[in-house]
Amino acid sequence: MNSGSSIAGQRANTGPKHSRARNRPRILSCGAVIIRDTPEGRRYLLLRAWGYWDFPKGCQEAGEQALQTALREVQEETALTHLDFRWGKHHSYDTAPYSQNKVARYFVAATDTERVELLPNPESGRIEHDQYAWFDYDQAMAKLTPRVQEVLRWAANVTGHI
């Protein structure tokens, strides 16, 4: 697993499609795996957009540090503001590049807040996600794509859940 700026799961890319992606500048998207411990057990917050489930995240803006981006995106997408980075603010996981050389960097944080608001994007004015839910580990794994399943495994390992 990773921390810092190294890239997890990076594989050798071959062929013209991958060559073009490598020549594009890397786009950094930052977010957080949000955990809420309940009497029924640990729950992970997932958001759904375009039929895919993921953790709250979004593109880094000029001058932002990765954690600042993650905090801004979580607040913009969910209205959650009380986050506890008890596992470290400098501990993060980077995905392998995907979708035109984008890399997603995730932090892990806990919250006691159950209520989430799916808010409109401050720039576009549109709501980016059509659903949210708090899932247990197995339910979340069943909803996520393999790329994001790696992130969930990392977060569960970091937090001592698996």
Structural domains present in the chain: 16-158 (3.90.79.10)
Task: Write out pLDDT tens, residues 61-120.
Answer: 999 999 999 999 999 999 999 999 999 998 899 999 998 899 999 999 999 999 999 988
| Partner residues linked to 31 by β-bridges | 57, 106
Closest CA to 154 of 83, 68, 55: 55
The answer to whether 105 touches 26, Cβ cutoff 8 Å, is no
| Partner residues linked to 154 by β-bridges | none
Cα distance between residue 39 and residue 116, in whole Å: 19
pLDDT for the residue numbered 20:
52
| Partner residues linked to 98 by β-bridges | 102
pLDDT for the residue numbered 25:
83
pLDDT for the residue numbered 5:
36
Is pLDDT larger for residue 125 or for residue 132? 132
pLDDT for the residue numbered 19:
46
Closest CA to 136 of 56, 47, 46, 44: 44
Task: Write out pLDDT tens, residues 33-70.
Answer: 999 999 999 999 999 999 999 999 999 999 999 999 99
